[in-house]
């Protein structure tokens, strides 16, 4: 028997950063994101030799461990171990023996929510195998709890909910409460978005925790400049929602451009001269706006290229040595199935 699960990565269209505590606890946060056809995968193969085999195929990591009710959380494959520990603690109550293989279509630190998406995919595989009683909200909340509390990883709340639900979502954060509002966007608008949006991987790795910690500190210290920037990012999530629902797609590039300017005001390490050069070059080539996906500092850039400007933008950005990723939007969230 083989148990498989996959969970989609997401691009953040507006409001990113307002889902991070303590900002969302103090002021309430709103984000708008959309899932795309790039995935995190998890495969479980049950064993009967009292061993746990962990394989991270994309990162070339491997461990063979004795089965136990709790695995030691060292610096290797923490996400895999953290999920297992919580599944045993909350549901199964006894050791399991299996091989767990994972793979993510985007590199770590890409800004597409890869870590959280992988946690949800692993949880979904365990849910399928052990018949765990988890709704989409339960799945997302448990994934968030594992990352933020069990593993002490810094980050926001949007990624877990985006990948659990799939589609275009306007997500509101008020204290500990999270409300996912799926958006019904006309298919012709989605088709145009897929044509006009370019997803460009800069090849620059970044440590999101450092950037997020700076945002957290700015909020705690009541840095007026940074907090006001987050207020504006939240407002722009409402503007983006209106533009998408009404089909006012010519507004999207402008909203992204304003969002990027405000995002850079949240922390001095969100951008750098290389990133700024890439951005300005894309605008000169015809893009109407764009932003780094995720915390910033590197990873994937998203550019909105109206009319037929995508070709000129692609040609110009090719000079920087990054790579382009084709994608489509998907309405499907985390999925699992069994092969017998």
Is residue 331 over pLDDT 70?
yes
Question: Mind listing the pLDDT tens digit for each residue in 154-174?
Answer: 888 999 999 999 999 999 999
Q: Which band of pLDDT confidence, cut at 50, 70 and 90, is reported for residue 218?
A: confident
Question: Mind listing the pLDDT tens digit for each residue in 266-282?
Answer: 777 778 888 899 999 99
Is residue 206 over pLDDT 70?
no
Is residue 329 over pLDDT 90?
yes
Question: Mind listing the pLDDT tens digit for each residue in 274-328?
Answer: 889 999 999 999 999 999 886 566 788 999 999 999 999 999 999 999 899 999 9
Higher pLDDT: 222 or 38? It is 38
pLDDT at 208: 61
Cis link prior to 22 (omega < 30° from 0)?
Answer: yes
pLDDT at 170: 98
Which residue among the candidates 159, 257, 276, 331 is catalytic per the annotation? 159
**Is 159 one of the annotated active-site residues of the chain?**
yes
Higher pLDDT: 74 or 95? It is 95
Task: Tell me which fold the domain 2-184 belongs to.
Answer: Ribosomal Protein S5; domain 2 (3.30.230)
Is residue 243 over pLDDT 60?
yes
pLDDT at 209: 64
Question: Mind listing the pLDDT tens digit for each residue in 63-89?
Answer: 999 999 999 998 789 999 999 999 999
Cβ-proximal residues to 118 (8 Å cutoff; 6+ apart), any chain: 7, 40, 42, 79, 102, 104
pLDDT at 296: 61
pLDDT at 238: 97
Higher pLDDT: 22 or 210? It is 22
Half-sphere exposure of 122 (CA within 13 A, CB side): 32
What is the CATH architecture assignment of 187-324?
Answer: 2-Layer Sandwich (3.30)
Average pLDDT score, the chain:
92
How distant, in Å, are the alpha carbons of 10, 106, 158, 204, 305 from that of 110?
11, 6, 15, 9, 21
pLDDT at 213: 78
SS (H, E, C) the chain: CEEEEEEEEEEEEECCCCCCCCHHHHHCEEEEEEEEEEEEEEEEEECCCCEEEEEECCCCEEEEEECCCCCCCCCCCHHHHHHHHHHHHHHHCCCCCEEEEEEECCCCCCCCCHHHHHHHHHHHHHHHHHCCCCCHHHHHHHHHHHHHHHCCCCCCCHHHHHHHHCCEEEEEEECCEEEEEECCCCHHHHHHHHHHEEEEECCCCCCHHHHHHHHHHHHHCCCHHHHHHHHHHHHHHHHHHHHHHHCCHHHHHHHHHHHHHHHHCCCCCCCCHHHHHHHHHHHHCCCCEEEECCCCCCCEEEEECCCCCHHHHHHHHHHHCCEECCCCECCCCCEEEEEC
Average pLDDT over residues 241-248: 97
Where are the domains positioned within the chain?
2-184, 187-324
pTM for this entry: 0.94
pLDDT at 222: 76
pLDDT at 225: 84
pLDDT at 269: 72
Q: Which band of pLDDT confidence, cut at 50, 70 and 90, is reported for residue 237?
A: very high
pLDDT at 212: 74
% pLDDT > 90, the chain = 77
């Amino acid at each position: 028997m083989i148990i498989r699960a996959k969970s989609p990565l997401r691009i953040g269209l507006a409001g990113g950063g307002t889902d991070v505590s303590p900002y969302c606890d103090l002021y309430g946060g709103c984000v708008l994101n959309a899932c795309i056809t790039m995935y995190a995968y998890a495969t479980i193969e049950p064993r009967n030799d009292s061993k746990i085999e962990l394989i991270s195929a994309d990162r070339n990591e491997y461990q063979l461990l004795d089965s136990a009710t709790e695995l030691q959380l060292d610096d290797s494959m923490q996400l895999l171990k953290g999920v297992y520990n919580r599944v045993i603690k909350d549901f199964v109550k006894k050791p399991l023996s299996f091989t767990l293989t994972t793979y993510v279509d985007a590199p770590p630190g890409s800004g597409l929510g890869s870590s959280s998406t992988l946690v949800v995919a692993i949880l979904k595989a365990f849910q399928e195998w052990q018949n765990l009683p988890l709704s989409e909200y339960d799945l997302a909340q448990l994934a968030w709890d594992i990352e933020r509390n069990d593993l002490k990883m810094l980050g926001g709340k949007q990624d877990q909910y985006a990948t659990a639900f799939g589609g275009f979502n306007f997500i509101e954060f008020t204290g500990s409460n999270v409300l996912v509002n799926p958006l019904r966007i006309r298919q012709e608008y989605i088709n145009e978005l897929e044509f006009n949006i370019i997803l460009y991987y800069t090849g620059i790795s970044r440590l999101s925790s450092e950037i997020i910690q700076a945002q957290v500190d700015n909020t705690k210290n009541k840095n007026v400049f940074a907090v006001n920037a987050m207020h504006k990012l939240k407002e722009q999530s409402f503007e983006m929602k209106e533009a998408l629902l009404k089909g006012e797609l010519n507004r999207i590039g402008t909203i992204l451009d304003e969002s990027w300017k405000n995002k850079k005001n949240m922390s001095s390490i969100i951008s750098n001269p290389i990133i700024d050069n890439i951005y300005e070059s894309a605008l000169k080539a015809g893009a109407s706006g764009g932003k780094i996906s995720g915390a910033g500092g590197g990873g994937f850039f998203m550019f909105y290229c109206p009319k037929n400007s995508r070709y000129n933008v692609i040609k110009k950005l090719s000079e920087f040595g990054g790579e382009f990723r084709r994608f489509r939007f998907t309405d499907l969230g985390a999925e699992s199935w069994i092969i017998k």
